[in-house]
């Protein structure tokens, strides 16, 4: 976290020509920032009708990199009154197009949790420095690969108030790092997800309880991997499919979670 100064100067150079009105006073902007020598391009959404600082939420993309799905979620959060920053974990020119490429790219970060933490902390610094963000009230949500990432953000000891993992992997190479978690943890899990089995869920439970973390895990019956992503298709037999009910219920759980930890919530 020592490198905040050099990162934030670049991070706050917003590409104003790309500003797009979305709904009411919500505006979106692409944001260039760096992690060391790696140039990143994130996506920020905020309601600009008020200058009052409000909680910020990091949004972390799935394994194919920052795309329209994570951006849509950022806009939804901005409509709820948060400053939402969809981070770029891979780099501005790294956007895998096939499942094989995406698995290989995500695998770099899954096998190097220090790099994963460093990269998400770069986004954390950008969000915290934004003039509309209350830096004392920051949370994070992540999907699939992003779910794993926000758990690592919490395990890093970053002062996040809470993190929410949607259908993310739960395992940690260093379970004892959970003792560094400062905020709350919410895991929203597909009960039939073939990629995150009962043993992994049980190991996560032990990790959280032994570390004394305030946590909750909710499993959705019949839901498989990527259950919140409409583009995942509708065939659960493949192990990856959209589930409208689980999507709706998990979003409600996330909404209530942030309302509680950020009380009073933004209007």
Sheet of strand 54-60, all strands in order from the earlier edge strand to the far edge: 20-23, 26-35, 38-47, 83-86, 54-60, 133-143, 162-166, 184-190, 215-220
pLDDT, one tens digit per residue, over 9-64 is 344 444 433 444 454 589 999 999 999 999 999 999 999 999 999 999 999 999 99
Both tokens of residue 196? 């995150």
Mark residue 130 as left, alpha or beta (left: phi above 0; alpha: psi -120 to 50; beta: remaining): beta
Q: At CA 111, angle to CA 105 and CA 115, rounded to 5?
A: 80
- Report the C-alpha gap between 26 and 155 in whole angstroms: 32
Residue 267 within any structural domain of the chain: no
| pLDDT of res. 265 | 65
CATH number of domain containing 257: 3.40.50.1820
Model confidence, pTM? 0.91
| pLDDT of res. 97 | 93
Residue 266 within any structural domain of the chain: no
Q: Domain range spanning residue 92?
A: 4-261
> Cα-flanking dihedrals φ and ψ of residue 22, to 5°?
-115, -60
pLDDT, one tens digit per residue, over 53-78 is 999 999 999 999 999 999 999 999 99
Residue 48 within any structural domain of the chain: yes
| pLDDT of res. 263 | 84
Number of structural domains (the chain) is: 1
Q: Is the pLDDT of residue 264 over 90?
A: no
């Amino acid at each position: 976290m020592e490198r905040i100064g050099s990162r934030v100067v670049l991070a706050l150079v917003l590409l104003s020509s790309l500003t797009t009105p979305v709904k009411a006073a919500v505006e979106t902007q692409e944001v260039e920032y760096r992690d060391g020598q790696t140039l990143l391009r994130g996506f920020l959404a905020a309601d600009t009708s008020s200058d009052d600082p409000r909680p910020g939420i990091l949004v972390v993309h799935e394994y194919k990199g920052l795309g329209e799905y994570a951006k849509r979620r950022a806009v939804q959060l901005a409509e709820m009154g948060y400053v939402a920053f969809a981070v770029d974990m891979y780099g501005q020119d790294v956007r895998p197009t096939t499942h094989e490429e995406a698995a290989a790219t995500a695998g770099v970060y899954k096998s190097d949790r220090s790099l994963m933490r460093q990269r998400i902390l770069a986004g954390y610094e950008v969000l915290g420095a934004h003039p509309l963000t209350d830096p004392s009230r920051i949370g994070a949500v992540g999907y699939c690969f992003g779910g794993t990432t926000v758990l690592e953000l919490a395990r890093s000891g970053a002062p996040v108030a809470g993190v929410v993992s949607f259908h993310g992997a739960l395992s940690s190479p260093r379970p004892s790092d959970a003792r560094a978690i400062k905020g709350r943890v919410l895991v929203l899990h597909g009960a039939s997800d073939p990629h995150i089995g009962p043993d992994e869920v049980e190991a996560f439970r032990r990790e959280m309880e032994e570390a004394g973390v305030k946590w909750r895990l909710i499993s959705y019956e019949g839901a498989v991997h990527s259950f919140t992503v409409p583009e995942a298709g509708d065939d659960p037999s493949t192990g990856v499919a959209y589930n409208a009910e689980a999507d709706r219920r998990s979003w409600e759980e996330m909404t209530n979670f942030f309302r509680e930890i950020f009380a009073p919530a933004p209007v």
